[in-house]
Chains A and B, each alone.
Chain A
C-alpha cells in the first residue's frame, strides 16, 4: 500500500506518495524527474546513485523511499545556485575530472558530502572518503585534484574575507 510522506528535496518541501518497495533512487528518477542520480550496480557498490540525506552521502539504490520522510535530500540537480555551477562542479570541469560522465553526479555528491563535513581534508582523507565511488574511465587522480582545488580556493576566500590588520 502506498503511503504519503513529506520530504525536502533540493530545498523544496514535497508531499509525495510512495510504494513500500520503491527505493529513493526510483522515486527521484521515475516519479520526480530528477534523473541526475543514475543506477550503476544497484547494490551500493559503485556510487553513481549517491545523494545527500541530511548532508551525508548515501546509496539511494539501497534506501527505501519511505525513509526520506522528514529528511533533507540533496541531489546533483540541487547543488548549483541561480544557474551558477557549485565550486565542486566548476572544479570538476576545470580539472577535467570525468570522461564518459556516468559516475560524475554521484562523484560530485560524494565530494559535496566530504566538503560539508570536513572543509579542509588532506589527500589521505579525500582518498579514504571517495574510495567507494567507482570511475571506470579511471579519472581518480583528476577527481582528487578537483577536490584539492576546491579546498585551496575555499581557504583563499576565507583568508581574503578576513578584515585587514591595521
Chain B
C-alpha cells in the first residue's frame, strides 16, 4: 500500500486538532472502505488521522427520554448484536447484519459508514427511516444534524474540515411500530446492495397510522417514498394494498444506473421489495 503519514491521537479532541491543523488530512476509523480505495489507488492521502485508538467513543446507551445513543466508533457487529438495538430498533440490527461479512462488520464502524457516505450501503437507509440524527464535533463545539440532511450525495456530507461524527442518535420510538429491512444483491450474498429497502409502519388495531418507506443504494442518498407512504396511512394493510404501494414505489423512484443494475431493473426490484417488506411487517408484528 502507498505510504502515508499516520497521526494517532488518543482523544477525540486531539483528533479534531490534528484535522484542523492539516486541512488535507482525513480521518480513518475501521478502515474497511478507505484502505480498499488506497489499495486500488483511487484515493492517495498524504496524512490520515487514526481514530481507532481513541477510547470512550464506542458503546451504546439508552435513555427513555432521549432515545438511543450509539458512539461513532461502535463496530457494525456490536450495533447488530446489542440487546437494546435488537429489542427496540430491530430494523437497524437487520440492516447492519447484512453488511459485507462478519470480518468486515467487526472492523467497520457506524460513524465511519455514515461519514464515508457510500450510497451503496445498508445502514443509511434504515437509519434515515428511523429518523436518526448525528452528533458532530469540532473545535467550535457540537451540533446535531438529521442524517437525511447530513448526507448530501455519494461520498458527500455536510462535515466541515476538522469536524467528526461523534454519535448516532435515535429517537425513542412510540409503541406500535413494526419494520423490515430487505437487501437485494445482484453479484454475491455479501455484495453491496443493488437495492435496500426499509419499511416501518405503525399500527393501531388493524389500521396503519404512520409509515416510512426508504429506498437505499439506488440514488446518491437514501430516498423516502412519500407518495407511497401517504397511500398506506389510515388504511387496513392487506394483499391488494401491498401491490398498490409497490407499484407506486416502482413508478415514483428515479434510480441511477450502476454496475449492480440498470435504473429500470432497480425500479422493479424496489417495487417487489416494498410488497415483501410490508408483508413481513404484518406477519412479524412486534416493535420496529
Q: List residues of chain A with CB under 8 Å of any chain B CB.
A: 1, 3, 19-23, 42-45, 47, 50, 53, 56-59, 62-64, 66-67, 69, 110, 113, 129, 131-133
Q: Report how far A113 CA is from B106 CA in the complex, Å.
A: 11
A24 to chain B, nearest CB (A): 10
Q: Report how far A66 CA is from B104 CA in the complex, Å.
A: 17
Q: Can you offer 22 A-B residue contacts whose CB atoms are under 8 A?
A: A19-B3, A20-B3, A21-B38, A22-B1, A44-B32, A44-B36, A44-B100, A50-B103, A56-B102, A58-B107, A59-B32, A62-B36, A63-B107, A64-B6, A64-B28, A66-B50, A67-B50, A67-B52, A131-B101, A131-B189, A132-B102, A133-B101
Q: Report how far A40 CA is from B50 CA in the complex, Å.
A: 26
Q: Report how far A113 CA is from B77 CA in the complex, Å.
A: 13
Q: Is the CB of B2 within 8 A of A21?
A: yes
CB neighbours (8 Å) of B5 from chain A are: 1, 20
Q: Is the CB of A113 within 8 A of B190?
A: no
| Residue in contact with A132 in the complex, picked from B2, B48, B52, B190, CB distance below 8 Å | B190
Q: Report how far A161 CA is from B107 CA in the complex, Å.
A: 37
Assuming the contacts A23-B1, A66-B50, asked whether A58 and B8 have C-beta atoms less than 8 A apart, the reply is no
| Residue in contact with B4 in the complex, picked from A20, A42, A44, A129, CB distance below 8 Å | A20
Query: Is B35's beta carbon under 8 Å from chain A?
Result: yes
Q: Is the CB of A56 within 8 A of B106?
A: yes
Query: Is B31's beta carbon under 8 Å from chain A?
Result: yes
CB neighbours (8 Å) of B4 from chain A are: 20-21
Other A-B pairs, 14, CB within 8 Å; known A21-B38, A62-B35, A63-B31: A21-B2, A21-B6, A22-B1, A44-B101, A44-B104, A45-B190, A59-B32, A59-B104, A64-B31, A64-B35, A67-B50, A110-B102, A129-B102, A133-B101
Interface string of B75-99 (1 = CB under 8 A from A): 0010000000000000000000000
CB neighbours (8 Å) of B6 from chain A are: 20-21, 64, 66
Q: Is the CB of B35 within 8 A of A66?
A: no
Q: Closest B-chain residue to A59, C-beta based? A: B103
CB neighbours (8 Å) of A50 from chain B are: 103
Q: Report how far A3 CA is from B5 CA in the complex, Å.
A: 11
Q: Closest A-chain residue to B77, C-beta based? A: A56
Q: Report how far A53 CA is from B39 CA in the complex, Å.
A: 22
A87 to chain B, nearest CB (A): 21
Which positions 1-56 of chain B face chain A at CB distance < 8 Å? 1-6, 8, 28, 31-32, 35-36, 38-39, 48, 50, 52-53
CB neighbours (8 Å) of A56 from chain B are: 77, 102, 106
CB neighbours (8 Å) of A22 from chain B are: 1
